[in-house]
Structure 1
Amino acid sequence: MGSERPILLVAAAALVDGDGRVLVQRRPAGKPMAGLWEFPGGKVEAGETPEGALIRELHEELGIDVEQACLAPAVFASEPLGERHLLLLLFALRKWRGVVNARHADALKWVRPVELHRLDMPPADRPLIGLIEALI
């Protein structure tokens, strides 16, 4: 057994528009991994389900409302992250209410899944790209 690290549970969404493009957001200056493109979402707080956390985060970050039934579990990543171990749960989302806007990120971009390979993304997000391409 290796050294045990606390788990950081994060739920994120691959929002897919009618043209098959996926939404990514750029982390703002002053945040860890600033300037990297990521899928919107965030940390699952104590007492929250991953779906509940993601619904909350998407409202806070993008100003959209999401029904839990529209969140389809897609892929996950498991990656060391400093003193903790990141478990990233990625859901696919094709239906939401409201207009997507950047409330916490410094930019948003809709890209085809194949274009994700050219973006600077956090290490945990990179292995998900091929799986997303296969799903969409």
Structure 2
Amino acid sequence: MTERIVVVGAALLSEGRLLSARRSAPPELAGRWELPGGKVEPGETPERALVRELREELGVEAEPLERVPGQWPLKPGYVLRVWTARLLPGSVEPRPLEDHDELRWLAPGEIWDVDWLDADVPAVKGALLRLDAGA
């Protein structure tokens, strides 16, 4: 069995809202929304990758909380795994630094107002269960 490259995504939750990020690149994904994150580097745990990616992409300090059950195929050889996460006390407000041109905090009733990437939809549904539970 071939080794899959793990891509981590953060269902970043704050004050009952979920952070969404609009892709600015590559062209085939630009304008669609996703959970922020990125590839796990060799020798890195998924949780450490999540912290690093949120720092690089959003300029924030965050803490992974729990994994959203499941994993979802991306392009061939890649798989998405998602964790709920929260901003650490004293962290700055997220801002788009890499690969995104807009961020939106979405309340539960607004979650489907954005055009999510297909692979992110089941992960968002899983994160929404935690948001509804008061995570």
TM-score bin (small chain): 0.7 to 0.9
Distance in 2 (alpha carbons) for counterparts of 1:118 and 1:42: 23
User: Which one of 80, 83, 98 corresponds to residue 76 of structure 2?
Assistant: 83
Taking the TM superposition and a 5 Å limit, the aligned residue runs for 1:1-136 are 6-18=3-15, 20-66=16-62, 70-86=63-79, 88-96=80-88, 97-104=91-98, 105-136=100-131
Gaps spanning 5+ residues in structure 2: where? Answer: none
Q: Relative to 1, partners in 2 of residues 1:129 and 1:30: Cα closer, same or farther, differing over 3 Å? A: closer
CA displacement 1:40-73 (0-9 Å, x = unmatched): 111001111001111111111111123xxx3112
For the 8 Å contact 1:114–1:133, the answer to whether it is kept is: no
Identity rate, percent: 38
Q: Secondary structure at the match of 1:106?
A: strand
Normalising to structure 2: TM-score of the pair? 0.82
Normalising to structure 1: TM-score of the pair? 0.81
Distance in 2 (alpha carbons) for counterparts of 1:59 and 1:116: 23
Amino acid at match of 1:113: P
Q: How large is the Cα RMSD of the aligned pairs?
A: 2.0
Amino acid at match of 2:52: R
Task: Give the superposition deviation at 1:117.
Answer: 2.4
CA displacement 1:68-115 (0-9 Å, x = unmatched): xx31123144334333241x2212122322221111111101101342
